[in-house]
């Protein structure tokens, strides 16, 4: 018996020894390269297997490998993967991860509806801006300024806070789709973006991805020029936060605080951010102020489900910058604001008795609930339910002689609810399929009222409310965005000028099928949608105080995309994509005069037709990566509407139909890292954007009746204005001491043209270039250097370049040189860009 026991013991010892020799133990500590702090929750996987563990709170890990030698892959959300070789049991020591320059590791909640380029093997023309880049470069600017270091993007800062514009491949913001965590946020009525309503988005952005052209989005959205995906914070894996204080030019001050609990042992997490900003504005008398709030609650009951609720908003008000002739700015300087008044009662003084000609006041809370469900190892479902309630107005000063009497509010309120859901299934090893739905319910509420009484106590008006009799407005809505939101004007008898609502409902389905095997991948996308419109008039009705509903119109739209890619080697990949969109016309282009008439245009505005082709080449080396893209986009059957100004006997509105633009060009983007502490990147965009064929224009009076016959508008060969057709840029960053770095950027804009009426050809504008610079320093503090103090300085337009940023008009250059500025007639309306601006911040990370 003893012999048998000894024999069994010896056999067990031999088996254990053999097992120990086959399976080794690898240990190490995962560290944040910037913070020099541990990264808890990092993923550690033995390459080529499913064998993996996570790092503990101190960043430490221990993994029993299935082989005696091989490679360990370490990854973490928002950081670049690191692959480390091992041979036998070993301690790898500290393994540092650097922030990632792509979105490969960033998607957390709602990943199935956030259409990111990294989620698809067939590429698109794309550029990604990480949270660290946003934090450093944003300063006191809007998102378009952060994106200007990417190909074919131009930022036009306009005048007041949040009034900037972005152009992508020559298309303005109404033709660029903006998504917030998969939620469309372009205006439902006209596709516009108002950055003043989104001033807090950069505080909570995890990353921003610019997809030029066809993009990777499966939704039927306004992506003629491209798609901009804004991905916000959701679940932070570890506890922490920051406090930041920023100051800048023209008395700009911004304070921000953020705290996250991290994920507790029951799967709950909470993140909260609050901020306040105020400033005088670069342009004279464009002061403003606002707040930012963000609340995120996450819950992960198990590995198969993840939920996140987010609420964010940016209540604000800011004074507007009036337009003027180029000569006005030459006479008065770049900061000139033509739109302000003096002699205001002392209770309403702003900057020594100056009252702004116009103020934007708005509060738009946005909430969404995201749910990711991993059904099994092949199927998953992602859903985002969202809603927003916008309340606010544009308060315009009204005068009598030299006296400001009251501020008239043009209110643009809305209630918007939607759902985006996507089911993804890995049908086979090589075939992936997904299908989803996109539903949007929008109610727009538009009217005029009184925002402030100044030298009068009431305003008289007459309308259908009282059978044409005079009535008086005696209540003022105010200019505080919080009060405007919680106490909106709901009394029709305290409204005048116009008063109407519209209901826009949208329902669509979409699908994608992608094939991938070896070096080849290909995809097909399709989307089909119906958009309905109905308008309700409250002002000019047969029954005072009761709304009259107009005819309902339904428009079917769809899009189709196909593409393929081939990986030549690990360093070389090529791709081609093509797509066709039939996009429904905007609500504002469906009615004779959207502010006074329920009557539809006859003939109705057609669906816009967009055809896109693109091809690309990607090179990926160890020290250099490059992307080369070719594109050709045709945008046809476009309807544009504009008016000649205020109501009155001479009020006219114009609709131009059948407009076609053709945009084509080439884009080159290069990323290099000559040294470990030096990166140099650059881009070049060469475009040719022109109107093709001719269009038809119709004129309507104040009652929506057509005046005269249809007119042919000869636009064939006109250059598309608004943005530079040729752009280039170089940016570099050099860390000359640990955590102390300097960076700079140069941007060049050429081949620019004016905007304005299509009755005459656009005019050429002078080119310009700008240089920006920045300095960063991070000081490690606290126990084990787990906290840090980060200092940042930005100087924009460091050489104080004087340049024409935009021109609206087409008056040709005068034969008298004194009437021109760099070849542009100074009688045209224009605006000069900002001179030298700066901001500096200190941030405590904990």
**pLDDT-based confidence at residue 563 (cuts at 50, 70, 90):** very high
Closest by CA position to 769, among listed 806, 811, 798, 737: 798
Looking at the fold, whether 280 and 187 belong to one and the same domain comes out as no
Q: Write phi, then psi, for 145 (nearest 5 degrees).
A: -70, -35
> At residue 766, does pLDDT exceed 70?
yes
Closest by CA position to 479, among listed 317, 276, 346, 357: 317
Closest by CA position to 548, among listed 598, 513, 600, 584: 598
Query: pLDDT (tens digit, 9 = 90+) per residue, 45-97?
Result: 888 787 888 787 668 899 988 888 888 888 875 567 788 888 888 888 888 88
Q: Which ranges in 42-82 belong to alpha helices (H)?
A: none
CA angle at 232 for the pair 228 and 236, rounded to the nearest 5°: 150
> What pLDDT, on a 0 to 100 scale, did the predictor assign at position 7?
45
Mean pLDDT (whole number) for 340-359? 68
Q: How many domains does the chain have?
A: 3
Number of Cβ atoms within 10 Å of the Cβ of 803: 18
> What pLDDT, on a 0 to 100 scale, did the predictor assign at position 109?
61
Looking at the fold, whether 616 and 677 belong to one and the same domain comes out as yes
Beta bridge partners of residue 443, listed in sequence order:
415, 503
Query: pLDDT (tens digit, 9 = 90+) per residue, 601-647?
Result: 777 788 999 999 999 999 988 789 999 999 999 999 888 777 665 54
Beta bridge partners of residue 153, listed in sequence order:
168
> At residue 760, does pLDDT exceed 90?
no
The length of the chain is: 846
Asked whether residue 107 is assigned to any structural domain, the reply reads no
State the Cα–Cα distance between residues 613 and 665, nearest whole angstrom. 11
Three-state secondary structure call for residue 143: helix
**pLDDT-based confidence at residue 105 (cuts at 50, 70, 90):** very low
Last residue of a domain, one of 232, 264, 281: 232
Last residue of a domain, one of 181, 213, 232: 232
State the Cα–Cα distance between residues 763 and 718, nearest whole angstrom. 9
Q: How far is CA 349 from CA 155, 286, 305, 354, 449, in A?
A: 33, 14, 55, 6, 21
> At residue 20, does pLDDT exceed 60?
no
> At residue 751, does pLDDT exceed 50?
yes
> Do residues 828 and 766 touch, judged by C-beta distance below 8 A?
no
Closest by CA position to 175, among listed 586, 568, 683: 586
Give the domain extent around 156: 117-232
> What pLDDT, on a 0 to 100 scale, did the predictor assign at position 588?
81
Asked whether residue 653 is assigned to any structural domain, the reply reads yes
> At residue 798, does pLDDT exceed 90?
yes
**pLDDT-based confidence at residue 11 (cuts at 50, 70, 90):** very low
Query: pLDDT (tens digit, 9 = 90+) per residue, 441-474?
Result: 999 999 999 999 988 999 998 765 656 678 899 9
Mean pLDDT (whole number) for 786-806? 93
Query: pLDDT (tens digit, 9 = 90+) per residue, 196-217?
Result: 888 878 888 888 889 999 888 8
State the Cα–Cα distance between residues 213 and 610, nearest whole angstrom. 11
State the Cα–Cα distance between residues 740 and 736, nearest whole angstrom. 6
Q: Count CA atoms within 13 Å of residue 87 on its CB side.
A: 0
Q: Write phi, then psi, for 22 (nearest 5 degrees).
A: -80, -30
Beta bridge partners of residue 372, listed in sequence order:
306, 382
**pLDDT-based confidence at residue 102 (cuts at 50, 70, 90):** very low
> Do residues 115 and 218 touch, judged by C-beta distance below 8 A?
yes
Looking at the fold, whether 130 and 90 belong to one and the same domain comes out as no
Q: Which two tokens stand for residue 646?
A: 């205020």
Q: For residues 665 and 2, which has the higher predicted lDDT (pLDDT)?
A: 665
Looking at the fold, whether 389 and 518 belong to one and the same domain comes out as yes
Supply the CATH number for residue 87's domain.
Answer: 2.60.40.10
Instruction: Report the sign of the C-alpha dihedral through residues 141, 152, 175, 523, in that order.
Output: negative
Q: Which two tokens stand for residue 485?
A: 């939101």
> At residue 784, does pLDDT exceed 80?
no
Closest by CA position to 760, among listed 700, 820, 718: 718
> What pLDDT, on a 0 to 100 scale, did the predictor assign at position 406?
93
Supply the CATH number for residue 828's domain.
Answer: 2.40.170.20
Asked whether residue 108 is assigned to any structural domain, the reply reads no
**pLDDT-based confidence at residue 771 (cuts at 50, 70, 90):** very high
Looking at the fold, whether 410 and 463 belong to one and the same domain comes out as yes
> Do residues 283 and 160 touch, judged by C-beta distance below 8 A?
yes
Query: pLDDT (tens digit, 9 = 90+) per residue, 175-194?
Result: 999 988 888 898 888 888 88
> What pLDDT, on a 0 to 100 scale, did the predictor assign at position 8?
43
State the Cα–Cα distance between residues 601 and 541, nearest whole angstrom. 20
Q: Count CA atoms within 13 Å of residue 264 on its CB side.
A: 10
Asked whether residue 345 is assigned to any structural domain, the reply reads yes
Number of Cβ atoms within 10 Å of the Cβ of 842: 13
> What pLDDT, on a 0 to 100 scale, did the predictor assign at position 107?
36
Instruction: Report the sign of the C-alpha dihedral through residues 196, 174, 394, 534, in that order.
Output: negative
> At residue 19, does pLDDT exceed 50?
no
Query: pLDDT (tens digit, 9 = 90+) per residue, 138-164?
Result: 888 888 888 998 999 999 887 889 898
Q: CA 323, 326, 327, 332: dihedral to nearest 10 degrees?
A: 60
Looking at the fold, whether 282 and 371 belong to one and the same domain comes out as yes
pTM of the model: 0.84
> What pLDDT, on a 0 to 100 scale, did the predictor assign at position 13?
46
Asked whether residue 102 is assigned to any structural domain, the reply reads no
Q: CA 372, 375, 378, 381: dihedral to nearest 10 degrees?
A: -40
Q: 366-374 and 305-313: which strand pairing?
A: antiparallel
**pLDDT-based confidence at residue 341 (cuts at 50, 70, 90):** confident
> Do residues 227 and 177 touch, judged by C-beta distance below 8 A?
yes
Lowest-pLDDT range of 144-148, 507-511, 687-691 = 144-148
> Do residues 113 and 231 touch, judged by C-beta distance below 8 A?
no
Lowest-pLDDT range of 78-82, 224-228, 402-406, 490-494 = 78-82
Q: Which two tokens stand for residue 269?
A: 């997490």
Q: For residues 702 and 280, which has the higher predicted lDDT (pLDDT)?
A: 280
> What pLDDT, on a 0 to 100 scale, did the predictor assign at position 602?
74
Supply the CATH number for residue 134's domain.
Answer: 2.170.130.10
Looking at the fold, whether 508 and 596 belong to one and the same domain comes out as yes
- How does DSSP classify residue 468? T
Asked whether residue 218 is assigned to any structural domain, the reply reads yes
**Average pLDDT over the chain, rounded to an integer:** 86
Integer-rounded Cα Rg, in Å, for the chain is 29
Asked whether residue 768 is assigned to any structural domain, the reply reads yes
> Do residues 431 and 474 touch, judged by C-beta distance below 8 A?
no
Looking at the fold, whether 42 and 185 belong to one and the same domain comes out as no
Asked whether residue 105 is assigned to any structural domain, the reply reads no
> What pLDDT, on a 0 to 100 scale, did the predictor assign at position 506?
95
- As a whole-number percent, the residues of the chain with pLDDT over 90 amount to 52
Looking at the fold, whether 315 and 186 belong to one and the same domain comes out as no
Maximum average pLDDT range among 56-70, 391-405, 542-556: 391-405
Query: pLDDT (tens digit, 9 = 90+) per residue, 248-280?
Result: 999 999 999 999 998 888 889 999 999 999 999
Query: pLDDT (tens digit, 9 = 90+) per residue, 313-340?
Result: 999 999 999 888 999 999 999 999 988 8
> Do residues 451 and 408 touch, judged by C-beta distance below 8 A?
yes
Q: How far is CA 336 from CA 332, 428, 642, 798, 830, in A?
A: 6, 64, 26, 21, 12
Q: Please return the burial class of 773, using the count of CB atoms within 10 Å of its CB with bins 0-12, 13-18 and 19+.
A: middle
- How does DSSP classify residue 465? G
Query: pLDDT (tens digit, 9 = 90+) per residue, 586-595?
Result: 888 887 766 6
State the Cα–Cα distance between residues 142 and 196, nearest whole angstrom. 8
Spatial neighbors of 642 by CB under 8 A, at least 6 apart, are 653, 654
State the Cα–Cα distance between residues 301 and 303, nearest whole angstrom. 7
Q: Which residue is listed with tokens 């091809």?
A: 615
Looking at the fold, whether 25 and 125 belong to one and the same domain comes out as no
Looking at the fold, whether 224 and 266 belong to one and the same domain comes out as no
State the Cα–Cα distance between residues 217 and 227, nearest whole angstrom. 8
> Do residues 311 and 330 touch, judged by C-beta distance below 8 A?
no
> Do residues 829 and 810 touch, judged by C-beta distance below 8 A?
no
> At residue 482, does pLDDT exceed 60?
yes
Closest by CA position to 213, among listed 169, 172, 182: 169
Q: Please return the burial class of 10, using the count of CB atoms within 10 Å of its CB with bins 0-12, 13-18 and 19+.
A: exposed
- As a whole-number percent, the residues of the chain with pLDDT over 70 amount to 89
Last residue of a domain, one of 210, 232, 254: 232
> What pLDDT, on a 0 to 100 scale, did the predictor assign at position 644?
62
> What pLDDT, on a 0 to 100 scale, did the predictor assign at position 101?
47
> What pLDDT, on a 0 to 100 scale, did the predictor assign at position 15?
41
Looking at the fold, whether 306 and 249 belong to one and the same domain comes out as yes
Mean pLDDT (whole number) for 282-290? 94
């Amino acid at each position: 018996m003893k012999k048998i026991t000894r024999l069994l013991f010896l056999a067990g010892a031999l088996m254990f020894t053999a097992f120990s020799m086959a399976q080794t133990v690898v240990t190490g500590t995962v560290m944040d390269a910037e913070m020099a702090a541990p990264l808890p929750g990092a993923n550690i996987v033995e390459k080529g297997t499913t064998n993996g563990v996570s790092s503990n709170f101190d960043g430490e890990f221990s993994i029993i490998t299935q082989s005696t030698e091989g490679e360990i892959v370490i990854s973490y959300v928002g950081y670049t993967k690191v692959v480390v070789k091992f041979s036998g049991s070993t301690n790898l020591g500290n393994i540092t991860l650097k922030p990632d320059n792509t979105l490969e590791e960033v998607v957390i909640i709602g990943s199935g509806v956030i259409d990111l380029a990294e989620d698809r093997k067939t590429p698109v023309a794309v550029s990604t801006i990480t949270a660290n880049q946003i934090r450093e470069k944003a300063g006191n600017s809007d998102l378009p300024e952060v994106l200007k270091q990417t190909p074919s993007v131009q930022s036009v800062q306009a005048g007041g806070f949040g009034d900037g514009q972005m152009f992508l491949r020559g298309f303005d913001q109404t033709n660029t789709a903006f998504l917030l965590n998969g939620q469309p946020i372009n205006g439902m009525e006209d596709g516009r973006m108002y950055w003043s309503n989104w001033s807090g988005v950069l505080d909570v952005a995890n990353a921003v991805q610019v997809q030029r052209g066809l993009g990777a989005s499966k939704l039927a959205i306004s992506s003629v020029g491209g798609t901009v995906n804004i991905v916000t914070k959701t679940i932070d894996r570890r506890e922490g936060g920051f406090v930041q204080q920023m100051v800048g030019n023209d008395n700009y001050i911004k304070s921000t605080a953020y705290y996250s609990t991290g994920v507790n042992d029951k799967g709950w997490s909470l993140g909260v951010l609050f901020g306040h900003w105020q400033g005088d504005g670069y342009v004279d008398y464009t002061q403003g102020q606002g707040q930012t709030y963000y609340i995120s609650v996450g819950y992960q009951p198990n590995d198969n489900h993840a939920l996140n609720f987010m609420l964010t908003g940016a209540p604000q008000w800011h004074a507007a910058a009036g337009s003027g002739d180029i000569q006005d700015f030459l006479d008065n300087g770049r900061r000139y604001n033509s739109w302000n008044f003096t002699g205001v009662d002392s209770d309403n003084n702003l900057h020594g008795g100056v009252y702004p000609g116009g103020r934007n006041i708005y509060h738009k809370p946005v909430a969404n609930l995201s749910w990711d469900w991993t059904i099994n190892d092949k199927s998953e479902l992602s859903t985002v339910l969202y809603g927003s309630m916008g309340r606010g107005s544009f308060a315009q000063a009204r005068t009598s002689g030299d006296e400001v009497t009251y501020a008239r509010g043009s209110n643009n309120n809305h209630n918007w609810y939607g759902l985006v859901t996507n089911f993804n299934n890995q049908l086979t090893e090589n075939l992936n399929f997904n299908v989803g739905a996109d539903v949007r319910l929008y109610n727009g509420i538009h009217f005029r009222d009184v925002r402030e009484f100044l030298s009068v106590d009431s305003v008289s008006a007459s309308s259908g409310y009282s059978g044409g009799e005079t009535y008086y407005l005696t209540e003022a809505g105010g200019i505080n965005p919080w009060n405007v939101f919680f106490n909106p004007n709901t009394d029709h008898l305290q409204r005048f000028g116009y008063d109407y609502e519209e209901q826009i409902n949208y329902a669509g389905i979409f699908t994608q099928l992608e094939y991938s095997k070896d070096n080849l991948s290909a995809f097909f996308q399709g989307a089909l949608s119906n958009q309905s419109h109905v308008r309700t008039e409250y002002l000019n009705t047969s029954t005072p105080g009761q709304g009259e509903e107009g005819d309902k119109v339904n428009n079917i739209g769809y899009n189709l995309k196909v593409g393929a890619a081939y990986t030549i080697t690990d360093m070389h990949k090529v791709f081609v994509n093509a797509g066709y969109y039939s996009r429904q016309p905007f609500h504002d282009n469906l009615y004779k005069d959207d502010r006074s008439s329920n009557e539809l245009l006859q003939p109705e505005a057609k669906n816009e037709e967009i055809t896109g082709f693109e091809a690309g080449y990607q090179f990926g080396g160890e020290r250099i990566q490059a992307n080369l893209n070719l594109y050709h986009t045709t945008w046809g059957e476009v309807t544009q509407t504009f008016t000649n100004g205020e109501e009155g006997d001479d009020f006219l509105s114009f609709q131009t139909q059948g407009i076609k633009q053709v945009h084509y060009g080439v884009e080159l983007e290069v990323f290099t890292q000559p040294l470990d502490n030096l990166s140099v990147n650059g881009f070049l965009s060469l475009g040719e954007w022109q109107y093709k064929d001719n269009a038809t224009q119709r004129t309507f009076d104040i009652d929506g009746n057509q005046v005269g016959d249809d007119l042919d508008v000869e636009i064939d060969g006109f250059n598309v204005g608004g943005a530079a057709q040729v752009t280039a840029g170089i940016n570099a960053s050099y860390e000359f001491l640990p955590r102390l770095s300097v960076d700079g950027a140069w941007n060049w804009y050429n081949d620019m043209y004016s905007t304005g009426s299509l009755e005459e050809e656009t005019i050429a504008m002078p080119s310009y270039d700008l240089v920006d610079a920045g300095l960063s320093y991070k000081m490690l503090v606290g126990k084990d250097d787990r906290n840090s103090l980060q200092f940042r300085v930005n100087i924009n337009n460091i050489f104080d370049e004087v340049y024409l940023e935009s021109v609206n008009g087409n008056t040709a250059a005068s034969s008298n040189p004194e009437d021109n500025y760099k070849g542009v007639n100074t009688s045209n309306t224009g605006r000069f860009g900002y001179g030298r601006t700066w901001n500096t911040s200190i941030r405590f990370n904990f």
